[in-house]
Chains A and B, each alone.
Chain A
Amino acid sequence: MCGIAGLIHRGKSSNVGNELQAMLQALKHRGPDSTGYALYADNDGENFIMRFKVGENVGEGSSSVNEDESVYDKRKELVDSMLKNLGAKVIKEEKLTPYSYRYEMKYDDDLMEFSKKIESIESVEILSIGKSLELIKDLGDAQAVLDRYDLGKVTGTHAIGHARMATESGVDIKSAHPFWGYPFSDVSVVHNGQLTNYWNNRRVLENKGMRFMSECDSELIAVYLAEKMRNGATLEEGMKDSLSGLDGVFTYFVATKDSLGMAKDTMAAKPLVLYESDELVAMGSEEIAIRSILPHEIDTYDPFDGEVKVWQI
Chain B
Amino acid sequence: MANIKTNENKTKAQSMGLHSEVLTGKTQQKFFNPDEAENFYYWGTYDVDFNKRIDLDVNDLDCKEANKKIDELMSQGYGTIVIKNPQGKHSLGVGVLNKLNLIFEGSLGYFGVGSIDGPTVRINGRVGWSCAENMMAGKVVIEKNAGSCFGAAVRGGDLICKGSVGARTGIDQKGGTIIVGGDAGAFTGFMMQRGRIIILGNVGINLGDSMYDGTIYVGGKIGSFGSDAIESPMTKSDIDWIKRKLKVAEIGENFDVSKMTKVVAGKKLWNYDALEPTEKKGAI
Q: Which of A84-92, A115-123, A291-299 forms contacts with chain B?
A: A291-299
Q: At the interface, yes or no: A267 with Cβ under 8 Å from chain B?
A: yes
Known: A268-B167, A291-B87. Is A301-B126 also a contact (CB below 8 A)?
A: yes
Contact between chains at A299 and B126 (CB < 8 Å): yes
Known: A288-B88, A295-B87. Is A305-B164 also a contact (CB below 8 A)?
A: no
Other-chain residue from B109, B124, B167, B205 in contact with A288 (beta carbon distance below 8 A): B109
Q: At the interface, yes or no: A300 with Cβ under 8 Å from chain B?
A: yes
Contact between chains at B87 and A266 (CB < 8 Å): no
- CB closest residue in chain A, given B166: A302
Looking at chain B's contact residues, is the secondary structure mostly helix, strand, loop, or mixed? loop
Contact between chains at B163 and A304 (CB < 8 Å): no
Other-chain residue from B126, B164, B186 in contact with A287 (beta carbon distance below 8 A): B126
- CB closest residue in chain B, given A301: B145
Interface centre among A269, A271, A287 (most CB of B within 10 A): A287
* Residue numbers in B under 8 Å from A297 (CB-CB): 106-107, 124-125
- CB closest residue in chain A, given B223: A305
Assembled-state Cα–Cα distance A305/B148 (Å):
10
Known: A268-B185, A287-B109, A290-B88. Is A305-B204 also a contact (CB below 8 A)?
A: yes
Other-chain residue from B87, B124, B148, B183 in contact with A271 (beta carbon distance below 8 A): B148
Q: At the interface, yes or no: B212 with Cβ under 8 Å from chain A?
A: no
Question: Which positions 191-230 of chain A face chain B at CB distance < 8 Å?
Answer: none
Q: At the interface, yes or no: B144 with Cβ under 8 Å from chain A?
A: yes
Contact between chains at B186 and A268 (CB < 8 Å): yes
* Residue numbers in B under 8 Å from A295 (CB-CB): 87
Other-chain residue from A271, A288, A302 in contact with B89 (beta carbon distance below 8 A): A288
Q: At the interface, yes or no: B79 with Cβ under 8 Å from chain A?
A: no
Question: Which positions 156-180 of chain B face chain A at CB distance < 8 Å?
Answer: 163-168
Contact between chains at B166 and A287 (CB < 8 Å): no
Q: Could you tell me how many residues of chain B have their Cβ less than 8 Å away from some Cβ of chain A?
A: 31
Number of chain A interface residues as a range: 10 to 19
CB distance from B3 to the nearest CB of A (A): 42
Contact between chains at A300 and B107 (CB < 8 Å): yes
* Residue numbers in B under 8 Å from A290 (CB-CB): 88
Contact between chains at A304 and B126 (CB < 8 Å): no
- CB closest residue in chain B, given A305: B186
* Residue numbers in B under 8 Å from A304 (CB-CB): 166-167, 183, 185-186, 204
Q: At the interface, yes or no: A144 with Cβ under 8 Å from chain B?
A: no
CB distance from A283 to the nearest CB of B (A): 13
* Residue numbers in A under 8 Å from B88 (CB-CB): 286-288, 290-291
Q: At the interface, yes or no: A273 with Cβ under 8 Å from chain B?
A: yes
Contact between chains at A286 and B128 (CB < 8 Å): yes
Question: Which positions 262-313 of chain A face chain B at CB distance < 8 Å?
Answer: 266-269, 271, 273, 286-288, 290-291, 295, 297, 299-302, 304-305
- CB closest residue in chain A, given B147: A302
Known: A271-B148, A288-B87, A290-B88. Is A302-B110 also a contact (CB below 8 A)?
A: no
Q: At the interface, yes or no: B78 with Cβ under 8 Å from chain A?
A: no
Assembled-state Cα–Cα distance A273/B108 (Å):
12
* Residue numbers in A under 8 Å from B128 (CB-CB): 271, 273, 286-287
Other-chain residue from A266, A286, A301 in contact with B186 (beta carbon distance below 8 A): A266
* Residue numbers in A under 8 Å from B145 (CB-CB): 299-302
- CB closest residue in chain A, given B150: A302
CB distance from A13 to the nearest CB of B (A): 26
- CB closest residue in chain B, given A296: B106
Assembled-state Cα–Cα distance A268/B205 (Å):
11
* Residue numbers in A under 8 Å from B106 (CB-CB): 297
- CB closest residue in chain A, given B168: A268
CB distance from A111 to the nearest CB of B (A): 39
Q: At the interface, yes or no: B129 with Cβ under 8 Å from chain A?
A: yes
Other-chain residue from A267, A269, A288, A301 in contact with B163 (beta carbon distance below 8 A): A301
Contact between chains at A271 and B129 (CB < 8 Å): yes
* Residue numbers in B under 8 Å from A287 (CB-CB): 88, 107-109, 126, 128
A-B contact pairs, 28 of them (CB 8 A): A267-B186, A268-B185, A268-B204, A273-B147, A286-B109, A287-B107, A287-B128, A288-B87, A288-B88, A288-B90, A290-B88, A291-B87, A291-B107, A297-B106, A297-B107, A297-B124, A299-B144, A301-B126, A301-B145, A301-B164, A302-B145, A302-B148, A302-B164, A302-B165, A302-B185, A304-B186, A305-B167, A305-B204
Question: Which residues does A use to contact B, with CB under 8 Å?
Answer: 266-269, 271, 273, 286-288, 290-291, 295, 297, 299-302, 304-305
Given A291-B88, A301-B126, 16 more pairs with CB closer than 8 A? A267-B167, A268-B148, A268-B166, A271-B128, A271-B148, A286-B90, A286-B128, A287-B128, A288-B87, A297-B107, A302-B165, A304-B166, A304-B167, A304-B186, A305-B185, A305-B205
Question: Which residues does B use to contact A, with CB under 8 Å?
Answer: 87-90, 106-110, 124-126, 128-129, 144-148, 163-168, 183, 185-187, 204-205
- Nearest 5 Cβ contacts at the A-B interface: A287-B88, A268-B167, A302-B166, A305-B186, A291-B88
